[in-house]
Chain A
Amino acid sequence: MLLYDHPQVYLVLAAFLLAVGIYGLLRRRTLIGMLISGELIFAAASLNIMTIQRFISPDPVAGQIFVLFIMGLAAAEVAIALSIIIAIYRNYRSIQAKELSELKG
């Protein structure tokens, strides 16, 4: 059997994407970097669901439509998050997560 016919290959790749996204979420110090890491975690979830619908699920259409909805929600999330980031940049002149500590006592 060929390599691209095994679900384990895709699942391990999705686990890798999730780990890289968590690593970036912990390491990035700017808000846009964190947003990009969050997109990688979304991609990991999409790849997982696509693998399950291709190899395991008896209803492949449900998985594909779910991934389609994930993409729509990710687009909405990016629009909202970027407008918040731009509003923060106008007020603070910086989008580093360290600078946004005005509420800290």
Chain B
Amino acid sequence: MNAFPASDWLLLGIFLAFVAATVAGALIAVNTVRIIRSVCGLAICCVGLAGLFYFLSSPFLALMEILIYVGAVCVTIIFAVMLAEPDEPTPERLVKPYPILGFLAAAAIAAGVFYGVAHLSLDTGWLNPAASRVNDGSVHAIGVALLTTYSLPFELISLVLLVAILGALAIAHDGRRKG
């Protein structure tokens, strides 16, 4: 045991807080009526996920998760929310004989997927090959691998991002000229 027995419980509390943030953020993201609250739920979920990445001994990916998802993706979605009017329609305008049926069908499919994947991951006997690691997964190892083994995919990703930005500009510009 270490010199501070309370530190294990402290770590467990922080871990549970991140798990709760992930779960609550995901539930907020799919269940609210206003889209802006849904974006906030996605941001909370990504902060929780970044904490989990930290627990998975990868502080670099935790930083990137916050930087890209919370800093770029959520802010971009908020810009689109300001330009469009994306709120969910009120339920009474929907003319359906059984309004609960869609909810039940979606919940049943989601529960089936969750049960199947969770069952699969709980029943598999995961090996632990910690002795046969070829590297330690540190930031230094990531940097070396990005510049040697994965240099071509790295450059291709930057090209894809450039093309995506140009394509987004072209699509939005054409829409403006017609409208």
Contact = CB atoms under 8 A, between A and B. Distances in A.
B172 interface: yes
Interface in A1-38: 2-4, 7-24, 26-33, 35-37
A24 to B, nearest CB: 3
A89 to B, nearest CB: 4
Contacts of A28: 30, 88
A85 B168 contact: no
Nearest to B112: A19
B64 A86 contact: no
Interface in A40-87: 40, 43, 46-47, 50-51, 53-62, 64-65, 67-69, 71-80, 82-87
A52 B42 CA distance: 23
A65 B146 contact: yes
Given A2-B8, A23-B110, A84-B171, A58 B132 contact: yes
B64 A16 contact: no
A90 interface: yes
Contacts, number: 249
Given A10-B56, A30-B35, A96-B89, A40 B26 contact: yes
Nearest to B46: A43
B49 A74 contact: no
Interface residues of B, number: 92
Interface of A is mostly: helix
Contact of B121 (A11, A23, A31, A67): A11
A10 B52 contact: yes
A53 B137 contact: yes
A55 B58 CA distance: 12
Interface of B: 8, 11-12, 15-16, 19, 22-23, 26-27, 29-30, 35, 38-39, 41-42, 45-46, 49, 52-53, 55-58, 60-61, 64-65, 68-69, 72-73, 76-77, 79-81, 83-89, 102-103, 105-107, 109-111, 113-114, 117-118, 121-122, 126-129, 132-137, 141-142, 145-146, 150, 153, 157, 160-161, 163-165, 167-169, 171-172, 174-176, 178-179
Given A16-B114, A83-B167, 18 more contacts: A13-B19, A15-B113, A17-B26, A18-B117, A36-B38, A39-B42, A47-B52, A54-B58, A58-B129, A60-B135, A65-B142, A73-B157, A76-B160, A76-B163, A78-B77, A80-B168, A87-B174, A89-B85
Interface of A: 2-4, 7-24, 26-33, 35-37, 39-40, 43, 46-47, 50-51, 53-62, 64-65, 67-69, 71-80, 82-87, 89-91, 94-96
6 contacts: A32-B81, A33-B88, A61-B145, A87-B175, A90-B178, A96-B89
